[in-house]
Homo-oligomer: A and B are copies of this chain.
Amino acid sequence: MKSFTSFSDIADLSSLVQDALACKKAPLSFSSLGQHKTLVMLFFNPSLRTRLSTEKAALNLGMQVISMNADQGWNLEFEDGAIMNAGSAEHVREAAAVISQYADVIGIRTFPSLKDRDKDYADQVLNSFLRYARVPVISLESAIRHPLQSLTDVLTVEEYKKTSRPKVVLTWAPHPRALPQAVPNSFVEWMRHAGVDLLITHPQGYELAPEFAAGIPVEYDQNKALEGADFVYAKNWSSYLQYGQILNQDPDWQITRQKMERTNDARFMHCLPVRRNVIVEDAVLDSASSVVIEQAGNRTYAAMAVLKSILTNAL
């Protein structure tokens, strides 16, 4: 693996998952693999879990970590040929090439605008770093994907599944703010290769981008969708069709204890942060069915498996 920005970057999902599980069993087995190697993480948008878990993963591998918030005084230009006489002080060509000399791996966190669909789906910030960096790049969530989360999700399903081919339901849930589609996009991109029966449920108008969701069944009736589910993965996202819009805030889409009763004693999953009593009832989140904390804990081991792959190829 050279860079890690989408499912297509990995050679084999199953072996990557096994690697992550091995890291979980013995997190310090490779504690000198990354010696004198530096991970530089650039946060164009805030992050809690991703920053901490990736940093912990790198430290477990013996790497050095430098985290920078690119929030103030650091406006990059991404357009080729730009005459830079306005707000942007540096072109990504220089920034990416320069940082590559101080880093062995670069992590990039960036969100979509949710205003211009074509621009967001071009994933310009991440792709510019991919293009101009001279070292491997890791997506710490981009405008349209969150692959470290998705690997974690596959790993968590693997750990908790009770049947060889579990039914996994990705369900939209209400939220007061317009959120990116990165997590559900990526979830579908990965889960379709994970040996599960994947079903998506959401209100009309919340169809995900075809490049991610094509061929995956959609059930508009949430109650029906949840029948017999082994895993319920809740997440809000804004509309792709009416791009970035909130079309629905119907509290009936919230995951409640009552709804969980329709499932096959399903595990409840969410990438966090989660809005309690908006996305999901306290009664579900605080029940034994919820594995959201363990899921977040797995972020470290997903990141370790990815960094380990990159370091191994690079050495």
Flag the segment in A79-87, A121-129, A195-203, A260-268 that touches B: A79-87
Bound-state CA distance A286–B93 (Å) is: 10
Question: A272 touching B84 by the CB < 8 A rule?
Answer: no
Chain B residues in 8 Å Cβ range of A28:
36
Question: B85 touching A278 by the CB < 8 A rule?
Answer: yes
Chain B residues in 8 Å Cβ range of A94:
272-274, 292-293, 296
Q: Given known contacts A86-B176, A277-B83, A296-B98, is B52 in contact with A40 (CB within 8 Å)?
A: yes
Chain B residues in 8 Å Cβ range of A97:
293
A101: Cβ under 8 A from any B Cβ: yes
Greatest chain B CB density within 10 A among A48, A74, A176, A286 is at A48
Question: B72 touching A52 by the CB < 8 A rule?
Answer: no
Question: B46 touching A73 by the CB < 8 A rule?
Answer: yes
Q: How many residues of A contact B (CB 8 A)?
A: 57
Which residue of chain B lies nearest to A132 when distances are taken between CB atoms in the complex?
B293
A297: Cβ under 8 A from any B Cβ: yes
Which residue of chain B lies nearest to A176 when distances are taken between CB atoms in the complex?
B85
A:257-293 near B, CB below 8 Å? 272-278, 282, 286, 292-293
Which residue of chain B lies nearest to A51 when distances are taken between CB atoms in the complex?
B68
Greatest chain B CB density within 10 A among A82, A95, A273 is at A273
Q: Given known contacts A36-B28, A59-B38, is B48 in contact with A95 (CB within 8 Å)?
A: yes
Bound-state CA distance A56–B103 (Å) is: 8
Bound-state CA distance A64–B59 (Å) is: 8
A223: Cβ under 8 A from any B Cβ: no
Bound-state CA distance A272–B93 (Å) is: 11
Contact of A278 among B64, B84, B273 (CB under 8 A): B84
Question: B59 touching A55 by the CB < 8 A rule?
Answer: no
Greatest chain B CB density within 10 A among A45, A99, A296 is at A296
A:42-91 near B, CB below 8 Å? 45-46, 48-49, 51-53, 55-56, 59-60, 64, 66, 68, 71-74, 77, 81-86, 89-91
Chain B residues in 8 Å Cβ range of A312:
none
Q: Given known contacts A56-B38, A94-B272, is B101 in contact with A300 (CB within 8 Å)?
A: yes
Chain B residues in 8 Å Cβ range of A242:
none
Q: How far is the CB of A39 from chain B (nearest CB, A)?
A: 11
Residue contacts A-B, CB under 8 angstroms, 9 given: A48-B68, A48-B90, A52-B102, A71-B72, A82-B276, A85-B176, A85-B275, A93-B286, A94-B273
- Given contacts A48-B68, A85-B278, A89-B275, list 11 more A-B pairs with CB under 8 A: A36-B60, A46-B72, A46-B73, A49-B98, A51-B68, A52-B102, A81-B282, A90-B274, A94-B296, A95-B273, A101-B297
